[in-house]
Amino acid sequence: MIRNDWSVEEITKLYHQPVLDLVYQAASIHRQYHDPNEVQVCTLLSIKTGGCPEDCSYCSQSVRYQTGVQVHKLLPVAEVLEKAQNAKDSGSTRFCMGAAWREVRDNRDFDQVLEMVKGVNQIGLEVCCTLGMLTDAQARKLKDAGLYAYNHNLDTGEAYYDKVITTRTYQDRLDTIGRARKSGISVCSGGIIGLGETHQDRISMLHTLSNLEEHPESVPVNALVAIEGTPLEEQKRVSVWDMLRMIGTARITMPQSIVRLSAGRLEMTEEEQALCFLAGANSIFAGDKLLTTPNPETDQDKMLFQTLSLKPREAFKDKMSVNV
Ligand code: SAM
Ligand code: DTB
Ligand code: SF4
């Protein structure tokens, strides 16, 4: 049963139960809703890097921090489509384009992004964008161009949000997610752990996500990639146990959603990643780069899939099951 009336107490109990009980419960629910050997493979591309006016304290792309990131303006459409074709050829079924913008503006860059969306859709990939805040009209234009999903993370719990970002509010975030939803675009929203937040902040974020009128179709769980030059450069790496608690609790509270083991895989062993799949993660970012930081090599991931007998999820599976 899909619920959106979870209480904080219920989620706290789920999250803090003995970790192996949590993994067992999450794995059992995972099997009721998903093929446990199926994992979605997504590729990320930063189509516009750096120079962002926001002050997200984890991010390599904010103008406020000296991170040495290779800044570039919006990539040409042809280059993006070539990268999308390569992603498809190497086995990805979703292609996510990220821009270091505070919000979308109605200008030539946006028109160019709409061309990219059309092109990636024509290649036969689920096309996703993460471009910052959106208006209703922009969401509609993206939808009309063939956009499948929009990524906009809550990042952390509401009470901790202004310790991480001051240039926009939690409500701004929720409003954009609502606009994507209203336009019929599939919603991708999750967060990051390891920002210095408490367990209660993490639980609070899961509470907000799992009580949305409709759960996000995908929920990325990122482990902070600590970036030199940002205020969070000294943060300690999160433990696999914390990742398991986050993934397992997301799986139990949002059983139908795809839970993505996102940033931070490079630091994880194959065994740790396997535990995350057991706890209900069923999507990854593949390709040797996330947006600006490294990710496991394609060959290494291919071996992991072989070792665990995982099969990649086909594109547009959700759409197909709706049509049946
Ligand atoms: N500028 C847009 C925005 O913020 O919505 C889109 C791109 S932004 C880089 C997308 C998401 O990536 C962020 O919301 C955050 O959750 C995640 N992210 C960014 N930097 C990260 C890092 N160093 N470690 C982990 N996750 C990160
Ligand atoms: C998400 O939740 N994680 C991705 C994607 N959505 C856009 C981004 C991870 C970024 C990690 C740091 C970097 O490579 O800059
Ligand atoms: Fe800009 Fe997005 Fe990075 Fe925040 S997370 S600084 S909005 S690119």
Does the active-site annotation cover 129? no
Q: Which pLDDT tens digit goes with each residue over 243-265?
A: 999 999 999 999 999 999 999 99
Placement of tokens 């609502």 in the chain:
178
Q: For residue 323, name the pLDDT band (cuts at 50, 70, 90).
A: very low
Q: Is 232 touching ligand 1 by the criterion CB < 6 Å?
A: no
- Which numbered atom of ligand 1 lies nearest the CA of 232? 23
Placement of tokens 């042809």 in the chain:
78
Q: Is 295 touching ligand 2 by the criterion CB < 6 Å?
A: no
Closest CA to 127 of 105, 106, 152, 145: 145
Q: Which pLDDT tens digit goes with each residue over 74-96?
A: 999 999 999 999 999 999 999 99
Q: Which pLDDT tens digit goes with each residue over 164-181?
A: 999 999 999 999 999 999
Q: Which pLDDT tens digit goes with each residue over 283-316?
A: 999 999 999 999 999 999 999 999 999 999 999 9
- The pLDDT value recorded for residue 319 is 75
In the three-class reduction of DSSP (H, G, I as helix; E, B as strand; rest coil), residue 105 is classed as: coil
- The pLDDT value recorded for residue 321 is 59
Rounded Cα gap, residues 280 and 261, in angstroms = 9
Closest CA to 215 of 191, 193, 187: 187
- The pLDDT value recorded for residue 320 is 67
Task: Return the amino acid letter for 60.
Answer: S
Contact in structure between 83 and 286 (CB atoms under 8 Å)? no
Report whether pLDDT(318) > 90: no
- Which numbered atom of ligand 2 lies nearest the CA of 260? 2
Q: Which pLDDT tens digit goes with each residue over 203-252?
A: 999 999 999 999 999 999 999 999 999 999 999 999 999 999 999 999 99
Question: Domains plus CATH for the chain?
Answer: 8-310 (3.20.20.70)
Q: Which pLDDT tens digit goes with each residue over 13-53?
A: 999 999 999 999 999 999 999 999 999 999 999 999 999 99
Q: Is 290 touching ligand 2 by the criterion CB < 6 Å?
A: yes
Rounded Cα gap, residues 33 and 183, in angstroms = 26
- Which numbered atom of ligand 2 lies nearest the CA of 220? 2
Rounded Cα gap, residues 35 and 58, in angstroms = 34
* Catalytic residue (one of 3, 31, 42, 56): 56
Among 130, 152, 174, the mutation site with the greatest number of ligand 1 atoms within 8 A of its Cβ is 130
- Which numbered atom of ligand 2 lies nearest the CA of 58? 12
Would you call 211 exposed, middle or buried from its count of C-beta atoms within 10 A (0-12, 13-18, 19+)? middle
Q: What is the mean pLDDT of residues 147-171?
A: 98
Does the active-site annotation cover 251? no
How far CA 293 is from CA of 29, 287, 290, in Å, comes to: 33, 11, 6
How far is ligand 1, taken at its centre, from the CA of residue 44, in Å? 12
How far is ligand 1, taken at its centre, from the CA of residue 116, in Å? 21
Closest CA to 216 of 252, 171, 180, 247: 180
- 236 is written with which tokens? 């300690």
pTM above 0.85, yes or no: yes
Using only C-alpha atoms, the chain has a radius of gyration, in whole angstroms, of 18
Does the active-site annotation cover 276? no
